[in-house]
Chains A and B, each alone.
Chain A
Amino acid sequence: MADKPKRITDLGSPDYKKFLPPAIAKNYGKWKYHEQLGKGVMKHVSETGDELYTVRIATPRLVSTDYIREMCDIAEKFCGGFLRWTTRHNVEFFPAKDQVDALTADLKKRGHLVGGIGYGISNVVHTQGWIHCHTPATDASGVVKAVMDELHEYFTTKSLPARVRIALACCLNMCGAVHCSDIAILGIHRLPPKVNEATLANQCEIPTTIASCPTGAISPNPATKSVKIKAERCMYCGNCYTMCPSLPIADGSGDGISIYVGGKVSNARGPARMSKLVIPFLPNNPPRWPETVKAVKHLVEVYAANAKKHERMGEWIERIGWERFFKLTGIPFTYQHIDDFTFARDTFRMTPTFKWE
C-alpha cells in the first residue's frame, strides 16, 4: 500500500501553545483578576491591561461530530476559531468585548444553555452507563439528562449559597470519581454475581477470579470446575466480573441508585472531604428516573433554604449536625447508613454532646 502514511508513534499530546487564542498567548501567566458578568460570562483582566471575555455553555458530554462542528462554526464566527472544553464538559468561547452579546444571543437562539459560572450548578461529571460499559448498575447520560432538565435553571439563572457540584458514576468503580461531590449519584448492585457454570471453565482463569475479590467471597467449586460465591460476604463491587465474564452482576430489579452528599475538592475554608451516604437505594426507573430526580431536587432545595452564603453542602451539614440534616430533609436513617467496612470505626461518634431540637 504505497499511499499509506509512515507509521508514527509516541507523539504525546499536541503542543497546547498552537491552540491558544492570541489574547491568551499574549497574557499567559499575567492575569491579574477576574469578574463574573452574569451566570455565563466572565471577564479576566491582565497586568498588561488586556481584557479577555469568556462565554460558557453546557454540553451533554456525549456528542456527535456534527455537534463539535457546530461549536467550531460558532468559534469561527465569533472568536477566530478558538474554543475550549472545561473539566466539567462545558464549552467556552472567547469573544471580543463587542461580540459578547451577539455571541450570547446566537448561542441562545441555537438552543444552547449559557451559564455554569459561580454559585449554582455546573455541568454534571458522569460516566458511560448503558452507552458503553459492561458493569453499570444504572445509565449515566439518561439520569443526568433527567436530573438537569429539572435543575437547569441553577445553571442558567438561579443562584445557590455556593457551588453545588453534582457527579454521577454508574458503578462502584466510579470512573467519574464522584466521591468528593456535593451531590454524588452512584449506581449500585445489590445482588451477588450469578455463576454461569456452563461457560466459566472456558472463559475464566479460576485463581485470578478468586484473587480479584476484595472480601474473599469466592472459592473454587471443583465439582463443576467453576467457583462458588458466599453471598453474605459479597459487597457487589463487580470486581470479579471484570476479571471473569461468566460472573454477570447486572440485575434489573436489584440494581439502582444511591445518593451521597457533602463532599468537595476545594480547600477553601476547610480541606477537601468525601461525600457521605444519605439515600441507600432508589430504583432504576428509565427513561426519567423520577425518584432520583425528586431526591436530588429536594436536597438542593433544602440546602438552598438553610445554608449560609459561601457554605458548601458539606459545610452546612457539619454546622447543623447530621441528626438535623436527616430531620430537615425527612430522609429516614437506616442500618445502611452506618458504615461496616474497612474504615467504619472512624465514622462512629465518641461524645455525648448533641444538639436536641
Chain B
Amino acid sequence: MGNDGKTPMLDDLEKGAWPSFVKEIKVAAKKSNTAKDLLGILERSYRDKVTHWKHGGIVGVLGYGGGVIGRYCDLPEEFPGVAHFHTVRVNPPSGFFYTSKALKELCDIWDKYGSGMTNMHGSTGDMIWLGTQTDKLEPIFAEITAKGWDLGGSGSCLRTPSSCVGMARCEFANIDTMDICHTLTHKFQDELHRPAFPYKFKIKVSGCANDCTAAVARADMSIIGTWRDSIRIDQAEVKNYSSKMNIQEEIVGMCPTKCMSFDGGALKINDKDCNRCMHCINQMPKALRPGKERGATIMLGGKAPIVTGALMSWVIVPFMKLEAPYDNLEDLIRKLWEWWDEHGKNRERIGELVDRMGMRSMLESTGLPPVPQMVKAPRTNPYVFWAPGEVK
C-alpha cells in the first residue's frame, strides 16, 4: 500500500456545512510539500486507525528550553515532506486581538519556512504553527522577533498565560484581564522560556465567575474576577426586562442563594446573601451590573487527569485587589513556585503537591492565612495533626 496520493476518506470531510480542515490542508498543499504529505499521512491514519507520529526529540532555538514541539513521522520514506514535522508556538497578544497587517506578516514568515498550516489557537492560547524542520527554527525565530513576536512556553515551565476579552469588550469584567495576562507574561519571561519547574504551570485570567477561559478547569492558577459590594440595579431597565421575560421564574426563582425578590415593580437583592454567581447579571445585563469594589479570587491546582485524576482549582485567596503593576500577585506566585520547587517531585503539578503535603505546608510557606472560604466544610475526620509547639 504505497503512497498513491489519493485521499478518499479525507475528501469526504470536504463535504458538509461545517468549515473543513481538509480544504485548508489542500489549500496549503498547493504551495507546500509538507502540507501535501500531511494530507497523505493523515489519510493513512484514517485507514489504519492509529497515529503515524513518533515521540519528538528535543529541538528548539538557542537559549530557550521550550516553544517548539519536536515531531517525526514513522513513514519517512513514503512521506518525506513530514519526516520532520515540528510545531512552533508563537505567543499571541492578550485577548487575541490582531491587525491584518501584523497577521499577514506572520503568514508570510510561516509560508517561507513551514507547511502553512496553523492552529488558531492551541488550547493554551498560543498560535501554533504546524510542520517545519530543525534547520528552519533559528531563521523563523529571527524573523518573528524582528517583527516583535516571541515564542510561547512548552515543557516544565510557565506556559503562555491567557485571559478572556475582559475590559476590552465585556461589561462584566471585574479586573483588567488582558493587562494582567500581558504583565505576568512579561514579568515571567525567564520562567516561560527556560523550563526549571517540576512540571508545567498554567495561568488563566477570567474577568468574572462566568469564567470564559475555563480557568478553573485548565489552569494551575485560576484568577477569577469578582466584587464585594452590592450589585448595581437600574430599576427602569428591570421594568423593561419584565415585559420580555418572567423575572420571578427565570431570575428570582433560579437565584442559587434565594436572595432576590420581585414584586412586579422593583427588584430587591439582599447583597449580604448573594454569592456573586452572575446568573441574574447574565440574563439582565442592561439592568444589573457587578458592584464597584472589584478584585479577584485566586484559585490553585486545576489540571487534566494525568497523573492522579483531574482536579479543579480551589480557593487560596477569596479576594485580592488587582491593580497595575500587580506586584501582590507576582509576589504570591513567586512564593508558590518556591514552595513547589522545594518539595515537588518530577512531573508533579502544584495541585498534586498540595494533595500530597496538605494545604498547611503551602499556606505556611506563602504566608496565606487559613480562612473558611477555602473549604466546602471543615473536616469530619478526627485524625487531626498538631505541629510541634501548638501543644503547650
**What is A's interface to B at a CB cutoff of 8 Å?**
4-5, 7-16, 18-21, 24, 28-29, 31-35, 44, 52, 54, 58-69, 71-73, 75-76, 81-87, 89, 112-113, 125, 127-136, 139, 141-142, 144-146, 148-149, 152, 169, 172-177, 179-180, 211-212, 214, 237, 239, 241-242, 245, 250-253, 255, 263, 265-270, 272-274, 284, 286-288, 309-310, 341-343
In chain A, what residue has the closest Cβ to B188?
A12
Least CB distance, A40 to chain B, in whole angstroms: 14
Further contacts, 8 of them, CB under 8 A, given A64-B25, A64-B28, A69-B103? A7-B62, A20-B168, A29-B167, A65-B110, A65-B116, A265-B216, A267-B278, A310-B279
CB atoms of A86 and B217 under 8 A apart: no
Residue B386 lies at the interface, judged by CB distance under 8 Å to chain A:
no
CB atoms of B150 and A130 under 8 A apart: no
Given contacts A65-B118, A287-B12, contact A251 B93 (CB under 8 A): no
Q: Flag B2-45 by CB within 8 Å of A: 1 or 0 each.
A: 00000001101101111111101101100000010010001001
Least CB distance, A175 to chain B, in whole angstroms: 5
Contacts of B50 in A (CB 8 A): 130, 250-252, 255
Least CB distance, B81 to chain A, in whole angstroms: 14
CB atoms of A269 and B256 under 8 A apart: yes
Partner of B169, one of A44, A58, A69, A269: A44
Contacts of B312 in A (CB 8 A): 180, 272-274
* CA–CA, A343 and B160, complex, Å: 30
- Stretch of B141-149, B260-268, B357-365 that contacts chain A: B141-149
User: Taking each of A87, A127, A272, A273, which has the highest tally of chain B beta carbons within 10 Å of its own beta carbon?
Assistant: A87
Residue B78 lies at the interface, judged by CB distance under 8 Å to chain A:
no
* CA–CA, A180 and B206, complex, Å: 16
CB atoms of B55 and A134 under 8 A apart: yes
Contacts of A273 in B (CB 8 A): 312
* CA–CA, A284 and B286, complex, Å: 47
Residue B385 lies at the interface, judged by CB distance under 8 Å to chain A:
no
Contacts of B165 in A (CB 8 A): 84, 86
CB atoms of A75 and B28 under 8 A apart: no
CB atoms of B102 and A19 under 8 A apart: yes
Residue B377 lies at the interface, judged by CB distance under 8 Å to chain A:
no
CB atoms of A134 and B164 under 8 A apart: no
* CA–CA, A242 and B307, complex, Å: 13
* CA–CA, A76 and B96, complex, Å: 17
* CA–CA, A4 and B64, complex, Å: 19
Contacts of B277 in A (CB 8 A): 267-270
In chain A, what residue has the closest Cβ to B312?
A272
Within 341-381 of B, Cβ neighbours of A (below 8 Å) are at 346-347
Given contacts A130-B46, A146-B13, A309-B250, contact A136 B119 (CB under 8 A): no
B side interface size, CB within 8 A: 126
CB atoms of A252 and B48 under 8 A apart: yes
Residue B389 lies at the interface, judged by CB distance under 8 Å to chain A:
no
For this complex, 12 residue pairs linking A to B, each with C-beta atoms less than 8 Å apart, are: A14-B102, A19-B93, A21-B97, A44-B169, A44-B171, A52-B169, A59-B120, A65-B111, A66-B28, A87-B164, A89-B121, A113-B17
* CA–CA, A147 and B110, complex, Å: 30
* CA–CA, A4 and B171, complex, Å: 46
CB atoms of B18 and A131 under 8 A apart: no
Q: Flag B121-133 by CB within 8 Å of A: 1 or 0 each.
A: 1110100001100
Within 160-193 of B, Cβ neighbours of A (below 8 Å) are at 160, 162, 164-165, 167-171, 173, 176, 178-179, 181-182, 185-186, 189-190, 192-193
Q: Flag B206-219 by CB within 8 Å of A: 1 or 0 each.
A: 00011111111110
* CA–CA, A62 and B25, complex, Å: 8
Contacts of B150 in A (CB 8 A): 9-13
Least CB distance, A257 to chain B, in whole angstroms: 12
Residue B325 lies at the interface, judged by CB distance under 8 Å to chain A:
no
Partner of A73, one of B100, B146, B169, B186: B100
- Stretch of B84-92, B316-324, B327-335 that contacts chain A: B84-92
Partner of A8, one of B131, B146, B211, B308: B146
CB atoms of B24 and A67 under 8 A apart: yes
Given contacts A12-B186, A64-B117, A265-B211, contact A174 B17 (CB under 8 A): no
Least CB distance, B292 to chain A, in whole angstroms: 12
Contacts of A33 in B (CB 8 A): 171, 285-286, 289
Q: Flag B264-286 by CB within 8 Å of A: 1 or 0 each.
A: 00000000000001110011011
| A-B pairs with lowest CB-CB distance, top 7 | A149-B16, A72-B100, A174-B304, A267-B209, A130-B45, A180-B217, A148-B18
CB atoms of A145 and B305 under 8 A apart: no
* CA–CA, A44 and B309, complex, Å: 40
Residue B80 lies at the interface, judged by CB distance under 8 Å to chain A:
no
* CA–CA, A54 and B307, complex, Å: 41
CB atoms of B93 and A16 under 8 A apart: yes
* CA–CA, A303 and B117, complex, Å: 37
CB atoms of B306 and A173 under 8 A apart: yes
CB atoms of B189 and A179 under 8 A apart: no
Partner of B9, one of A82, A132, A286: A286
Contacts of B56 in A (CB 8 A): 134
Given contacts A173-B304, A269-B256, contact A134 B96 (CB under 8 A): no
Residue B53 lies at the interface, judged by CB distance under 8 Å to chain A:
yes
Contacts of B239 in A (CB 8 A): none
Least CB distance, B151 to chain A, in whole angstroms: 9
In chain A, what residue has the closest Cβ to B9?
A287
Contacts of A269 in B (CB 8 A): 254-256, 277, 279
Least CB distance, A149 to chain B, in whole angstroms: 3
CB atoms of A149 and B17 under 8 A apart: yes
CB atoms of A13 and B63 under 8 A apart: no
Least CB distance, B135 to chain A, in whole angstroms: 14
Contacts of A31 in B (CB 8 A): 167, 169-171
CB atoms of A12 and B28 under 8 A apart: no
CB atoms of A177 and B217 under 8 A apart: yes
Partner of A252, one of B49, B71, B118, B347: B49
CB atoms of A69 and B107 under 8 A apart: yes
Residue B392 lies at the interface, judged by CB distance under 8 Å to chain A:
no
Least CB distance, B358 to chain A, in whole angstroms: 16
Residue B99 lies at the interface, judged by CB distance under 8 Å to chain A:
yes
Given contacts A33-B285, A73-B100, A177-B217, contact A10 B190 (CB under 8 A): yes
In chain B, what residue has the closest Cβ to A128?
B119
* CA–CA, A76 and B214, complex, Å: 31
In chain A, what residue has the closest Cβ to B310?
A179
Given contacts A145-B13, A145-B16, contact A133 B51 (CB under 8 A): yes
In chain B, what residue has the closest Cβ to A214?
B307
Contacts of B143 in A (CB 8 A): 5
Least CB distance, A326 to chain B, in whole angstroms: 23
